[in-house]
Structure 1
Amino acid sequence: MHIGIAPPIVVQHPAVVAEWEAAAGIEELTRIAETADRLGYHHLTCSEHVAVPIDVAAERGATYWDPLATLGFLAARTSSIRLATQVLVLGYHHPLEIAKRYGTLDAVSGGRLVLGLGVGSLREEFALLGAHFDDRGPRADDALAALRASLSRSRPEYHGAFY
């Protein structure tokens, strides 16, 4: 069994956010990550929401730190804890973008990235980003196949329905 931590600060959901988190920043998050690393936690997570609409933020929260920047910073401050996206929304990114950016993070972190992927659930956010919502399942399946091709070969080639 592996025990991980979903650190406070990076996601501030109105139903569970602690008062101190509103004023907390990268210093507090770094202390949490370094302590979890020292204590032997398996992983820490960072969720993705790119653009939570104002009317939805009251329910879901408006604070979601960017996982690539956050985990990249924490990779430099920790040594063994794995860095997990929980989750990266496939419909917001081209598979080659994910392969390049998160492949680089995996390399600079010494292979500590756990790439958690999902289809997304917030229709309004998809609309803000100009992303496809109704067919996000088939698009995600195709993106996964493209990612597998991109991450498994030095000269990838893939021809799917969307990518």
Structure 2
Amino acid sequence: MMQFSFRIPNADYLGFPATPEAIVTAAQRAEALGFDAILLNDHLIVKGPPEMVASWGNVYEPLTTMAYLAARTERIKLATSVLILPHRNPILTAKTVATLDQFSNGRIILGVGAGWLESEFAALAVSHGDRGARTDEYLKVCQACWASDPISFQGAYHQFDDMHCSPKPVQQPHPPIWIGGSSKAALRRAAEFAAVWQPVPTPLDDLIANKAKLLVACEKIGRKIPPEIRMSFRINVSDITGKDPHGPNGDRLAGHGSVDDIAADIRKYRDDADLDQFQLNFNGCGSLEQLEESMTVFMEQVRPMVDG
């Protein structure tokens, strides 16, 4: 059976204001409909063109939000997608994630990325130039903190010996790590750390090429079982949103259009790229009501056409 996760509106990126009520409603609706995970965005402080601020100026901090959602849901997995790892002290991140995993009874997924917005790094007094190196080391710090006490670590940015950091996560050896991105560095990082690789919305031919590159990266480090792949896929049910499903060149965008169009697109990615997991972004929804309707139509009408 196909697996579908869903990016909830903890930011204004869908075109309507993120609120506690909207976040909880979307999370609980996703659980009721059978999504296997909900994913939360991350930006701490931003500036930029109006469209950037309109989408990402109002973002509910994902780890804090996950703590509340853990108490308001029962089954569904709770994931960051992606947490900008260099923005936070990795020991605090590890402690927070382990605590969340305890309170949620093992439902946490840590999706991480290196970040990109230079002004955000500057405001946080974090170097932008070495964000990749920090991301790699911070993942190792988290893994060290999740191991049995006492713990030790020697890195370029953090060093400690014979220390204690509990509680440990419910999930052992630690919650699943998901790595986003399709750059050479991201693919190498996914090969080293990831249970799941999350490619960004990508044309099919590019996805297949990057999947091959990921396998090569795994071979280089002797990893025999590669990460699973959960494709990011933008969904626009045009009958609900009223938005034109075509791009600037007049071609229909993948995942945009009628229920039949969307199902056909997912089947093509499923069959040609051998995928059974998708992360859905419901684009074009101008309200929480449109989002809920789009989620329902997808799970009740599209999913039966792509399962199997």
Query: What's the TM-score bracket when you normalise by the shorter of the two chains?
Result: 0.7 to 0.9
Larger radius of gyration between Structure 1 and Structure 2: 2
Query: Following the alignment from structure 2 to structure 1, what is the Cα–Cα distance between the partners of residues 103 and 150?
Result: 21
Report SS of the residue matched to 2:78. Answer: strand
Q: Specify the alignment match of 1:112 in structure 2.
A: 107
Higher relative contact order (CA 8 A, sep 6+): 1
1:30 has 2:24 as partner: yes
Report SS of the residue matched to 1:121. Answer: coil
Q: Structure 1 residues 33, 150: CA separation in 2 closer, same or farther (over 3 Å shift)? A: same
Q: Specify the alignment match of 2:154 in structure 1.
A: 159
Q: Structure 1 residues 56, 97: CA separation in 2 closer, same or farther (over 3 Å shift)? A: farther
Q: Specify the alignment match of 2:7 in structure 1.
A: 6
Q: Where do residues 77-116 of structure 1 align in structure 2 (5 Å cutoff)?
A: 77-116=72-111
Specify the code of the residue in structure 2 equivalent to 1:42. Answer: D
Q: Specify the alignment match of 1:65 in structure 2.
A: 60
Report SS of the residue matched to 1:120. Answer: coil
Q: Specify the alignment match of 2:125 in structure 1.
A: 130
Query: Following the alignment from structure 2 to structure 1, what is the Cα–Cα distance between the partners of residues 93 and 49?
Result: 26
Percentage of pairs with the same residue: 34
Query: Following the alignment from structure 1 to structure 2, what is the Cα–Cα distance between the partners of residues 97 and 122?
Result: 22
Specify the code of the residue in structure 2 equivalent to 1:29. Answer: I
Query: Following the alignment from structure 1 to structure 2, what is the Cα–Cα distance between the partners of residues 139 and 33?
Result: 31
When the two structures are superposed, what TM-score results if normalisation uses the length of structure 1?
A: 0.88
Q: Structure 1 residues 128, 57: CA separation in 2 closer, same or farther (over 3 Å shift)? A: farther
Encode CA deviations 1:87-115: one digit per residue, 9 max, x unaligned.
11111111110011111011100110000
Q: Specify the alignment match of 1:147 in structure 2.
A: 142
| Shift in Å, 1:56 | 4.5
Any stretches of 5+ residues in structure 1 without a counterpart? none
Query: Following the alignment from structure 2 to structure 1, what is the Cα–Cα distance between the partners of residues 49 and 131?
Result: 20
Q: Specify the alignment match of 1:44 in structure 2.
A: 38
Encode CA deviations 1:33-92: one digit per residue, 9 max, x unaligned.
112112221111111111112x34532521211001211111101001000001111111
